[in-house]
């Protein structure tokens, strides 16, 4: 299994996000707010670069501490 899919599965299991939302995440979408790491689900233009189901889908979701302990932040930095 490709390493990317390992993190996709972990993030899906621990976030409640839709699969397409997690698959489309970029490094810039992972941000630290105070002491909490989060995934920012953002809406980007009509060019089809990224898609969300609807406008209320734009949100910030904390990354589960177990996923952080598993090393997702180290993987993101690579």
Global pTM reads: 0.79
What's the pLDDT tens digit per position in 49-65?
666 777 777 888 999 99
Query: pLDDT tens-digit profile of 10-42?
Result: 999 999 888 888 888 888 889 998 899 999 887
- What are the angstrom distances between the C-alpha of 77 and each of 48, 61, 69? 26, 19, 15
Confidence (pLDDT) at 72: 92
List the domain range (segments joined by +) for residue 64: 3-77
* pLDDT at res. 3: 82
Structural tokens at position 9 = 């599965």
Separation of alpha carbons 10 and 39, rounded Å: 13
pLDDT at 48 over 60: no
For residue 76, give the nearest of 10, 6, 27, 15 by alpha carbon: 27
Q: How far are the Cα atoms of 7, 52, 56, 78 from residue 75, in angstroms, in the given order?
A: 9, 24, 29, 5
Please give the tally of structural domains in the chain. 1
The predicted pLDDT at position 38 comes to: 94
């Amino acid at each position: 299994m490709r390493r990317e899919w390992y993190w996709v599965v972990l993030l899906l299991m621990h976030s409640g996000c839709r699969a397409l939302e997690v698959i489309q995440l970029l490094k810039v979408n992972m941000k630290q707010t105070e002491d909490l790491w989060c995934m920012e689900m953002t809406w980007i233009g009509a060019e089809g670069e990224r898609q969300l189901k609807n406008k209320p889908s734009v949100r910030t979701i904390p990354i589960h501490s177990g996923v952080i302990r598993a090393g997702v932040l180290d993987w993101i930095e690579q």
